[in-house]
Amino acid sequence: MKIFLVGGAVRDEILNIQSIEKDWVVIGASEKEMLQKGFISVGKSFPVFLHPDTKEEYALARKELKTGLGHKDFEFDVNKEITLKEDLLRRDLTINAIAKSETGELIDPYGGVKDIENKILRHISDAFKEDPLRVFRVARFYTYLSKFEFEVHEETISFMKEICKSGELDNLSFERIWMETQKILSMLNSHLYFEILGETKALYPFTNELEKFKENITVLKNLKNNSLSAEEKWALLTFDIKLNERVKVPNNFKKYSNYFSKFVKTLSGDISPNLILEALMKIDAFRDKDRANKIYDLYKLTTGNQEILNNLNFLYLLDKLTKVKPEKTNDKNSKIIKEEIYEKRIFLIKEFING
């Protein structure tokens, strides 16, 4: 039995990037032997195990054969005779098909080290086209490695286009696409992910409002988006399209996008104290001032043409509005109290606008 470090951990080590996870491949072993050594079986489709101490993943070397459509329809062969080279052949890109032995030797049968040196993302074989998820994985790696200025090989781009043209993306659940997408929203230069998906005709799983979506991608590109949170980037991309109504994304992303959409739509025309207060109430600003301030900052970045709002000391105003209380009396009903608070807040906003 031989064990090799594989995939992203080896790639990142060559690039001098701190890698979070380590994956290992085991050559010349059976599932029974792994269990006897104390490894914990966690694989559903094929034998994957957790190390009893480190909890890192160890997979038996395998070959795969596509049996249907989509990302999951594969048969796996994990017999003990499968070689390391055969296992590496099934991977997506050459830079992810480098292994490192227990003695530190690099095994690189498909030229991954050279492609790292030349900053190229290249498929290993024609089998790349069998897994539609690889379109989104390549886009993710393109974004992840953008600080090194990697480029996608032209033939790999061609293969990505073929996958999209074939209709194979229709067999991917949006939840699985989202797993790749959510990762890049926390990365530098997130717009690159969507740009290369646009180049390869792979944006349609997100929305049929492609022109608006592309406009929002351009806005994200033109902003200093590296300081934005993942939720803010998603809100910027989706606030004016109906994507969040059609697909399932985590509630924090959906909620942030909906709040931003309400804020922008309410303040899209002529600005008045009443509209400002209405916008604040729609985003629940008095319960969560920090989120409201971030939505306001994002609004300023994306509109830039509302002089009244751009000149506000927003947090100070929000703090003042939150502290507004009705006059002390016991004979007021809730409706009168709400009206009184509303009028006082309108008065405060007018004072701020007029200086």
* 3-state SS assignment for residue 75: strand
Instruction: Return residue ranges of the chain for CATH 1.10.110.30.
Output: 119-205
pLDDT for 145: 97
pLDDT tens column, 275-323: 999 999 999 999 999 999 999 989 888 875 566 676 678 899 999 999 9
> The domain at 1-110 falls in which architecture?
2-Layer Sandwich (3.30)
- DSSP code string of 177-244: HHHHHHHHHTSTTTHHHHHHHHHTT--TTT-S-HHHHHHHHHHHHHTTGGGS-HHHHHHHHHTTSSHH
pLDDT of residue 330: 66
pLDDT (tens digit, 9 = 90+) per residue, 130-141?
A: 999 999 999 999
**C-beta separation of 286 from 280 below 8 A:** yes
Q: Report how far residue 150's alpha carbon sits from residue 32's, in angstroms, rounded to the nearest whole number.
A: 42
- What is the DSSP secondary structure assignment for residue 326, as one 8-state letter? P
How confident is the model at residue 208, as a pLDDT?
Answer: 82
Find, among 197, 175, 118, 179, the residue nearest to 151 by Cα: 118
pLDDT at 243: 85
Q: Name the phi and psi angles at 204, rounded to 5.
A: -65, -25
Distance CA 192, CA 248 (A): 23
| Model pTM above 0.85 | yes
Beta-carbon count within 10 A of 184 CB: 24
**What residue ranges of the chain are covered by domains with CATH 3.30.460.10?**
1-110
Helix locations, the chain, DSSP H? 8-14, 31-36, 84-89, 112-117, 133-144, 154-166, 174-185, 191-199, 210-222, 230-238, 243-246, 251-266, 273-282, 289-302, 307-310, 314-322, 334-353
CA 243, CA 157: separation in Å to the nearest integer? Answer: 26
Which two structure tokens, joined as six digits, stand for 45?
């489709």
Which portions of the chain are predicted below pLDDT 70? 65-74, 224-226, 304-308, 310-311, 329-332, 355
Candidate CATH numbers 1.10.645.10, 3.40.640.10, 1.10.110.30, 2.60.40.420; the one for domain 119-205: 1.10.110.30
